[in-house]
Amino acid sequence: MGNPKAFLTIPRQEAGYRPVHDRINDYGEVEQTLNTSERKLQASRCMDCGVPFCHWACPLGNRPPEFQDALYKGKWKEAYEILSLTNDFPEFTGRVCPALCEKSCVLKLTIDAPVTIREDECAVVEAAFREGYVQPQAIERNGKRVAVIGSGPSGLSAANQLNKKGYEVTVFEKDEYIGGLLRFGIPNFKLNKAIIDRRIAVMEAEGVTFRTNTEIDVTHLPEGFDAYCICTGTPQARDLAIPGRELKGIHLAMEMLAQQNRVLAGQTFGDAERITAKGKHVLVIGGGDTGSDCIGTSHRQGALDVTQIEIMPKPPVGHNPATPWPQWPVVLKTSSSHEEGCTRRWCLNSKRFIGTEDGHVCGVEVEEVEWTPAPDGGRPVMKPTGRTEVIQADLVLLAMGFLRPQQPEFPENVFVAGDAATGASLVVRCIASGRKAASDIDQYLKR
C-alpha cells in the first residue's frame, strides 16, 4: 500500500459533469476526467483496509485496493493487468456502473467519502488503450466451437472468455450493431458508442466472429457448435394497460432511446416514425434509471419541460437505516439528467391517458396513493386516496422495467447468462454472469 494516511488529508474529488449549459445541447459524454496527478492522489486514498468490502460488493470480484495501489505508484500497465484479470470491459463499467463497491468502501462508512473506484477504473483502462497496452493476443485453438446468442455485455464477456480459452466463438446478434443495451439502451451521453467499437475490434482481431442482423430461434439452435450461450436479454418492456393507451404520442422508453441512438449512428427516420420531445411537454412514467435516460434524451431533443412520476414513495435522502453499510443504500438518486431539469413526483398511480380530438395524447390522469408497510414485512400495501389530477403531456414515455423472460427447457449443452437468466439487472452483473457461463461451458466441454 502506497500511502496509508492519504485518506486523512486528501478529500474525495470527483471529476464531475460538464456544466449543464455546455452539455444539454449535445450527446457527448457528460462525465469529465481528472488530470493524471489528481487521479493518482485519488487512488492514494485507498487505505487497504484489511477487510476490503469492495471485493465483496463488486459482482466481478474486482480488486480495487490492488489496482489503486498500482495507480497511485504510476504503474498504469500493472493497474490495467490487475483490473483485466477480473473485468473484461472496465471501459463499460468505468462509465456506467453504479459503483456498488464505493457504497461498501470503508471510507464510505467512516467519512462518507469513498475512494473514487469507478472513475479510477475508467482512467486505468483509458490509459491502457492510449498507451497501447490493450493488444490482440494470439490464441491457441482447442478445436471446439461455441455459439453465443446476443451481443450485450453478458454475450460479449462470455465470448471474450471462451475465445481466450481457445474455443472458436461466433456471436449471433439480431440487431444491425453489436452491444445490446450498451448500444441501444444506454444513451451516448453516458457511453460513447466508439468505446464499444474499440473493444469489438480487439475481440475480432483475437478471432471472435460477429454475425449481425441474424436472429436465432433459440428452440432451433444452429448446428455445428459444441455448446451455446443464450444472452438474449429482457426484450419485453412492462406496458401500462390503462384506458387511452392506444393514443398517439405514448411510447415504451426503449422505442425512443434506441431510435435516438440509431439517429446518432447516422440512420434517418421519417416524420411519422420519429419519436422526438422537441417542443413537447414530456411525462416519463417510471422513476428508475431508464426513466432518467429518457429525461436526458428529452432535454437534448428540445423538450419544453419534463416530469417524471413514480408509483412508489420517494426514497430517503442521503441515508436509509433499512439498508445500512456495507449494503447498497436504497436512497434518492439524482442523475446528471435530473440535474438538467425535471419535476419529480412520487406516489402517483396513472389511471387513464387523455387525448385530443385527433387521437393524440395531451395528458394523464393520476391518483395519489399511500403506502402502508405490510404486516408480514413483505411488499408495502398501496391504498388509493381518491385525490386525482391531470398532468399535461404530449409525449409520454413508459419506463416501468422489463418482464423477466421465460426460457424453454434447454439441452445440457445450452447455458443462459445475463438478463436473460436473471431479469433486468446491471452491466457489471451481466459481465460477471457471462464470465460464469463461459467457465461453466469450459467445464462442461472438458468433461
Chain positions contacting ligand SF4, by CB under 6 A? 58, 60, 62, 64, 87, 93, 97, 99-101, 117-118, 121, 428
Question: H helices within 302-426, ranges in order?
Answer: 336-339, 419-422
Strands (E), 87-173: 145-149, 168-172
**Which CB atom, from 91 or from 293, has the smaller least distance to ligand SF4?**
91
- Tell me which of ligand SF4, ligand FAD, none is bound by residue 181, counting a contact when its beta carbon lies within the kind-specific cut-off of 5 to 8 angstroms: ligand FAD
| Shortest Å, Cβ 414 to ligand FAD | 13
CA distances in angstroms from 298 to 259, 278, 301, 397, listed in the order given: 12, 8, 5, 10
Rounded CA gap, 420 and 154, in Å? 9
| Shortest Å, Cβ 92 to ligand SF4 | 9
- Tell me which of ligand FAD, ligand SF4, none is bound by residue 297, counting a contact when its beta carbon lies within the kind-specific cut-off of 5 to 8 angstroms: none
- Asked if 30 contacts 186 with a C-beta cutoff of 8 angstroms, the reply is no
| Shortest Å, Cβ 377 to ligand FAD | 28
**Which CB atom, from 69 or from 419, has the smaller least distance to ligand FAD?**
419
- Asked if 317 contacts 208 with a C-beta cutoff of 8 angstroms, the reply is no
When binding is defined by CB under 6 A, the residue of 361, 420, 432, 438 that contacts ligand FAD is: 420
Strands (E), 161-238: 168-172, 209-211, 227-230
| Shortest Å, Cβ 116 to ligand SF4 | 10
Residues, the chain, total? 447
- Tell me which of ligand SF4, ligand FAD, none is bound by residue 232, counting a contact when its beta carbon lies within the kind-specific cut-off of 5 to 8 angstroms: ligand FAD
181 binds ligand FAD (CB under 6 A): yes
293 binds ligand FAD (CB under 6 A): yes
When binding is defined by CB under 6 A, the residue of 42, 87, 151, 297 that contacts ligand FAD is: 151
- List, edge to edge, every strand of the sheet that includes 305-309: 250-252, 395-398, 281-285, 305-309, 343-345
Pairing of strands 361-372, 348-355: antiparallel
- The footprint of ligand FAD on residues 296-315 (CB under 6 A) is none
- Tell me which of ligand SF4, ligand FAD, none is bound by residue 27, counting a contact when its beta carbon lies within the kind-specific cut-off of 5 to 8 angstroms: none
| Shortest Å, Cβ 375 to ligand FAD | 34
- Tell me which of ligand FAD, ligand SF4, none is bound by residue 231, counting a contact when its beta carbon lies within the kind-specific cut-off of 5 to 8 angstroms: ligand FAD
CA 433, 86, 64, 190 dihedral sign is negative
* Contact map string, positions 82 to 121, toward ligand FAD, x by CB under 6 A: --------------xx------------------------
418 binds ligand FAD (CB under 6 A): yes
Rounded CA gap, 77 and 58, in Å? 22
| Shortest Å, Cβ 125 to ligand FAD | 16
Rounded CA gap, 401 and 328, in Å? 20
- Asked if 10 contacts 45 with a C-beta cutoff of 8 angstroms, the reply is yes
Bridge partners of 383, per DSSP, are 370
152 binds ligand FAD (CB under 6 A): yes
| Shortest Å, Cβ 276 to ligand SF4 | 33
| Shortest Å, Cβ 263 to ligand SF4 | 29
| Shortest Å, Cβ 432 to ligand SF4 | 9
Question: H helices within 304-393, ranges in order?
Answer: 336-339
Helix (H, G, I), strand (E, B) or coil at 316: coil
Q: Kindly state the cell numbers that stand for 30.
A: 457528460
- The footprint of ligand FAD on residues 210-249 (CB under 6 A) is 215-216, 218, 231-233, 235
CA distances in angstroms from 159 to 108, 223, 227, 287, listed in the order given: 35, 18, 12, 33
The residue type of 84 is S
SS3 content of the chain, % helix, strand, coil (to 5): 35, 15, 50
- Tell me which of ligand SF4, ligand FAD, none is bound by residue 148, counting a contact when its beta carbon lies within the kind-specific cut-off of 5 to 8 angstroms: none
Rounded CA gap, 338 and 55, in Å? 30
Cα three-residue angle 286-290-294, rounded to 5 degrees: 90
- Tell me which of ligand SF4, ligand FAD, none is bound by residue 152, counting a contact when its beta carbon lies within the kind-specific cut-off of 5 to 8 angstroms: ligand FAD
What secondary structure does DSSP assign to 211-233, as a single string? E-S----TTSPPSS-SEEEE---
- Tell me which of ligand FAD, ligand SF4, none is bound by residue 290, counting a contact when its beta carbon lies within the kind-specific cut-off of 5 to 8 angstroms: ligand FAD
**Which CB atom, from 61 or from 207, has the smaller least distance to ligand SF4?**
61
| Shortest Å, Cβ 230 to ligand FAD | 8
Rounded CA gap, 415 and 118, in Å? 30
172 binds ligand FAD (CB under 6 A): yes
- Tell me which of ligand SF4, ligand FAD, none is bound by residue 195, counting a contact when its beta carbon lies within the kind-specific cut-off of 5 to 8 angstroms: none
Residues making contact with ligand FAD (CB under 6 A):
96-97, 149-155, 172-175, 180-182, 185-186, 190, 215-216, 218, 231-233, 235, 257, 289-290, 293, 418-420, 424-428, 430
